[in-house]
Structure 1
């Protein structure tokens, strides 16, 4: 169990580095696009397309990272009204439902990725599968992090206490 947690945390550190680099590249591309479009008056179409796909990957990979630290937006009304001893159980049920959703998202995301393999991006003419692959990758990363949260119950209880503590 601890080995799995260490592996997931290692994967998350790698993903965090990748997402950070993607965000830096995205910022440079957007500045370049604005400069070429409004200052030089010769827009570069490829910067807009790459920026779009970078943003997609940042969102899907970042959502997996957010799952590990229970940082997704949540409606925590039930956590406020149920007794403290049941909060960890409710959090486990919520995480289990999220795991099922991630499985479904990964499955259908992979199917969609395979469907669009023969389609090309408008400007760069790469396979659209590269853009759509963010869906199953992000869903699998979220699923791995959900399993890590479910395996380490004190991590779930700490996150429940953090959520409930923030609302008081």
Structure 2
């Protein structure tokens, strides 16, 4: 595979990992704030509520799941049943693995397209607490699935190059 393309994808994944870390940190802060406001402040005689923190944490979790799945796809860490691939001889095993990865990339591409359709469909909805367009929530699916499709194709090509080098 083209070294520049690999470099570009790895850079995108690097920044995606940073976004994942920031997203997880924000979720922890928001949920901790919600717990403090809901349970600690009333004991001090200061009842208060921050309903937007739950919604923001929930929306961040959706983004973290889709982006994290894309990063997992790059490293072959998505859940898989590999008993048949491991039981087969080398050549059929390689072929079956590449076929499975190609099928997975196609599924991610279809999810990207349908996710974009859903994003456009739900763009008029407004979230109750944050009063944001749900476009930003629904956008997590097409973005995450597009990145997962690219990462799966890169993994497929990388595995092919590695196994060809081992065979030589």
State the TM-score, normalized to the length of structure 1.
0.89
Q: Structure 1 residue 80: deviation in Å?
A: 2.5
Alignment of 1:1-168 (within 5 A): 1-41=2-42, 42-154=48-160, 157=163
C-alpha distance in 1 between matches for 2:110 and 2:96: 21
- The CA RMSD over aligned residues, in Å, is 1.6
**Structure 2 unaligned regions, length at least 5:** 43-47, 164-168
Unmatched 5+ stretches in structure 1: 158-168
Q: How many residue pairs end up in the alignment?
A: 158
Question: TM-score, with normalisation over the residues of structure 2?
Answer: 0.89
Q: Which moved more, 1:52-61 or 1:71-80?
A: 71-80
Deviates more, 1:66-75 or 1:148-157: 148-157
The structure with the larger Rg is: 2
Deviation of 1:90 after TM superposition, in Å, equals: 1.3
Aligned to 1:166: none
Q: Which SS does the other structure have where 1:65 is aligned?
A: helix
